[in-house]
Structure 1
Amino acid sequence: MEAPVSADKLRFLIYRFKERLWVKPLTFCLLSIAAVFFAKIIDGTPLAEHLPIIEQSSVETLLSIMASSMLVIATFSTGTMVNAYTSASNSSTPRSVSLIIADDVSQNALSTFVGAFIFSVVAITSLKNAFYGDAGVFMLFVLTCTVFAIVILTFIRWVDSIARLGRVGSTIQKVEDAAMKAIDHRLNNPRLGGFVQPNLTALKEQGAEPVYCEQTGYVQLVDMTKAQNWCEHHNACLHILVLPGDFVSPNNPVALIERTATNPTSNKASFESTEAAACEANDIIKVGHERSFEGDPRFGLIVLGEIAARALSPSVNDPGTAISIIGSYVRLFLCWAKKDEIRDKPTDEIVQFTRVSAPELNTKDMFNDAFSPIARDGANIIEVAIRMQKALQVIAKCENKDIQKYAQEQASIAYKKSMNTFQFEEDKGRLDETKWSD
């Protein structure tokens, strides 16, 4: 049984399409061709008699200029974008390239240039073959001027964007924005919208059937709507054991199937076989070769940590970037601290899927993902060490007990690593002044 396309799955697919460079250019090309043929429609309307007459040669001249220049600009923009991707990979981390590719400004610019080129070529061909009447030529002239204006405005906006594309600061901002979106989505959908998991050990003892993954890779999507429909169809409950970003293999179960009491008057489908049911349930969890920023808050934290670790390497020696990323972590964890407010909402607003449970996102793992690389690679840099202590103290001032606990743990770990690394007593004294105090 196929479940309807859920909001999460639709969001997942849209994100995947944004990473495909051919989607927007193809769309703009189709719109350009449609615009050329749209100009012909005006010839058969009463409005055609009232439109001014435009010399066909003047329109051909404009279209020829556009055709000759747009292909060059499109080629130039493609080369610039590729250089930006290479720069982002070398200066920050290869895991950030997908965000650079999905940059809307660059994709819109490339699509506009390619679309304008296709528009001009098709329009010139139509004019040469006397496809238009006088009104159609005028409408084509108006469309050509409109396309020129769009190209100029797009180019100006793109020049401003391309100056930053692929730079470390811009990449950090994109990764932070992606992590913030994932955190916001998880805050609004704790446990992916499922209910709190019961005692899994007891469920196994009671005969709950494990579901094993057929692939090896990272979980990219858990389709909770499909899981809910599957459970209703089979009169069962499904307990998801993994979250987006977890690494899975055929050796480890990804879910448990809990059979519910059978109602003789119910028309719910029963299990034909455990294997068939497990196969259907397995299709609910989408696995890929790489982690995705969408729906995986920890991945954004990890990528920021990778950028900081590279900046702190002896070959780069850029502690300012690490300090900037610590500031990003403060904003992200203060946002995550709002989860207590979400828990205070009515249960029916939090639990969207009454037959599916899922685990909570582990706050301790999030702190380890974020601060461990900086505590390790920045332990010998006093500026980074002090900033770590101050940042974690800011985070710990929130009312969330878990975040207070783990912020204190990370501050203690970072303090010990730095104190064991510093050779000068002055540095130890400065760090001592800012260390964690109850």
Structure 2
Amino acid sequence: MARKNDPLFNPAGLRFFLSRIQERLWVRPLALCMLSVGGVFAARLADDTGLSRVFPKVSLQSVESLLSVMAASMLVIATFAVGSMVAAYASASAGATPRSIPLVIGDDVTQNALSAFIGAFIFSIVALVATQNDLFGQAGLFSIFTLTLLVFAIVVITFVRWVDRIARLGRVVNTISQVEKAACEALNQRRLAPTLGALTAPLHQETTRGIAVYSGSVGYVRYVDVKALQSRAETLDCHVKVTALPGTFVSQDRPLACVEGGGVFETDTIASAFTISPNRAFEQDPRFGLLALSEIADKALSPGINDPGTAINVIGTMVRLFTLWQSPLEKNELSKITYNRVSVPTLGIDDLFDDAFTAIARDGAGLVEVAIRLQKAFRALAETGDRTMVAAARWHSRMAMDRSERVMTLQDDIDAVRRSAALLVDTVELGKAAPTIKRVIKEH
């Protein structure tokens, strides 16, 4: 029986659990295999219902022939599907970033296709053995015939959908779209619950007060069960300050949390609410999505690939994500504080900008088209009106401009980037007091 503090008892924990299930390729095929075997034996029950007088007569040879064809073809298709999936995963890792592999593996259409092919193969084998051993009467034989036609129709429809998906699976554009979707979901969840439903803690807090809780393993914080922390804080009559957000690399010297108040307790009771893994996950870690997108753009800017168009595409994606992050919230949309004995720091806009733009600005400094597009992106983000985002955009604009001036050799290219950077400064400084002049600058 699940415990009260089990992550599955809260929506965030359920999403985290389901995302881990999606990364396991064997889960859906196993479920379809069990369903297939169950369907074969369920058809046997039709012989006990007295419906043999109602069902039309079906010859045993026709059913066996149909099942034999399906068994032979499904094994070939399943093998082909696995080969195509492995090639798509290799393409995503080589062309985009290895951090996108969990998203490619978790593609629903691909997993459903593989599950359908393997499930149909198991169904045909089990049904063929059952029919050859006279397990079915007339009603059961007709039920198996009907199920075989139904499975065949499902396989055909699934195969058509899968061929359309596998043609794009692993391609850089499709991978960018998948990473953007994952990053968008993580950013939106954190935007609605900036502190995961807990109190707000300082972003860079000191842990000198209270008892520091350390991790027993080395890795990344993948999930923080705030509900479990609240329950244990109530039991210990203390307050827990989370110091390691999801995505933080922790070791035995990096505290996970700081406990203030309460009596003597085992630190494992607090540390067990933190899931530590060798790899980061997208669900509670919005910065990881931005970092993965930045890695895709950075790889495209490498001399071996030399694809600035992909970097420009990623920059546009970043603008969409930061626009979502800074979009205003209605009062009823913001998550309420439900965990009053836990405090969690919010995400800093400077950290988000560093994850998103630093690598692109560094490796794309010598390409005029990338440098100009980057300055236009900073200008668009500065026009949101939020002070923290304006400051971050202007800082990164200056840094990108300095890098371009040091790398570029043609003065015309440097002047073009300077004009783009100057437009950012002018637009921000003008503010809302001169909308007409501001519009003229934007049109220029």
Question: In structure 2, what is the equivalent of residue 389 of structure 1?
Answer: 375
C-alpha contact (below 8 Å) 2:205/2:243 kept by paired residues: no
- Alignment counterpart, residue 196 of structure 2, candidates 192, 215, 220: 192
In structure 2, do the counterparts of structure 1 residues 104 and 203 end up closer, same or farther at CA, with 3 Å as the change threshold?
Answer: closer
In structure 2, do the counterparts of structure 1 residues 233 and 346 end up closer, same or farther at CA, with 3 Å as the change threshold?
Answer: farther
Aligned mates of 2:201, 2:391 — CA distance in 1: 23
SS across alignment from 1:166: coil
Question: In structure 2, what is the equivalent of residue 251 of structure 1?
Answer: 253
Deviations 1:148-194 (A, max 9, x none): 00000111000001111111111111111111111111112211111
Is 1:282 the counterpart of 2:254? The answer is no
C-alpha contact (below 8 Å) 2:366/2:404 kept by paired residues: yes
**Cα-Cα RMSD:** 1.8
Question: In structure 1, what is the equivalent of residue 303 of structure 2?
Answer: 314
- Alignment counterpart, residue 226 of structure 1, candidates 228, 237, 252: 228
- Alignment counterpart, residue 236 of structure 1, candidates 228, 238, 245: 238
In structure 2, do the counterparts of structure 1 residues 137 and 346 end up closer, same or farther at CA, with 3 Å as the change threshold?
Answer: closer
CA shift for structure 1 position 79: 0.8
In structure 2, do the counterparts of structure 1 residues 203 and 391 end up closer, same or farther at CA, with 3 Å as the change threshold?
Answer: closer
C-alpha contact (below 8 Å) 1:188/1:350 kept by paired residues: no
Question: What letter corresponds to residue 282 of structure 1 in structure 2?
Answer: A
Deviations 1:9-56 (A, max 9, x none): 221111111111111110110011111111112222244421111111
CA shift for structure 1 position 401: 2.0
Question: In structure 1, what is the equivalent of residue 435 of structure 2?
Answer: none
Aligned mates of 1:370, 1:354 — CA distance in 2: 32
Question: What letter corresponds to residue 57 of structure 2 in structure 1?
Answer: I
1:80-95 to 2 correspondence within 5 Å?
Answer: 80-95=84-99
Percentage of matched positions with identical amino acids: 44
1:266-345 to 2 correspondence within 5 Å?
Answer: 271=263, 273-274=264-265, 276=266, 278-338=267-327, 341=329
Question: In structure 2, what is the equivalent of residue 372 of structure 1?
Answer: 358
C-alpha contact (below 8 Å) 2:81/2:114 kept by paired residues: yes
SS across alignment from 2:409: coil
Aligned mates of 1:396, 1:320 — CA distance in 2: 23
Aligned mates of 2:50, 2:74 — CA distance in 1: 35
SS across alignment from 1:315: coil
- Alignment counterpart, residue 426 of structure 1, candidates 412, 421, 428: 412
Question: What letter corresponds to residue 53 of structure 2 in structure 1?
Answer: E
Question: In structure 1, what is the equivalent of residue 436 of structure 2?
Answer: none
SS across alignment from 2:13: helix
Aligned mates of 2:215, 2:260 — CA distance in 1: 17
Deviations 1:52-76 (A, max 9, x none): 1111111111100000010011011
CA shift for structure 1 position 346: 9.0
SS across alignment from 1:423: coil
SS across alignment from 1:196: strand
Question: What letter corresponds to residue 86 of structure 1 in structure 2?
Answer: A
Q: What's the TM-score once normalised by structure 2's chain length?
A: 0.91
Of structures 1 and 2, the one with the larger relative CO (CA 8 A, separation 6+) is 1
SS across alignment from 1:124: helix
Aligned mates of 2:287, 2:62 — CA distance in 1: 57
The count of residues paired between Structure 1 and Structure 2 equals 420
Question: In structure 2, what is the equivalent of residue 143 of structure 1?
Answer: 147
C-alpha contact (below 8 Å) 1:392/1:408 kept by paired residues: yes
Deviations 1:276-297 (A, max 9, x none): 2x11011011111011112111
Unaligned runs of 5+ in 2: 430-444
Aligned mates of 1:110, 1:201 — CA distance in 2: 48
- Alignment counterpart, residue 417 of structure 1, candidates 397, 400, 403: 403
C-alpha contact (below 8 Å) 1:178/1:293 kept by paired residues: yes
SS across alignment from 2:375: helix
SS across alignment from 2:143: helix
Unaligned runs of 5+ in 1: 261-270
C-alpha contact (below 8 Å) 1:203/1:258 kept by paired residues: no
CA shift for structure 1 position 350: 2.5
1:152-191 to 2 correspondence within 5 Å?
Answer: 152-191=156-195
Question: In structure 1, what is the equivalent of residue 437 of structure 2?
Answer: none
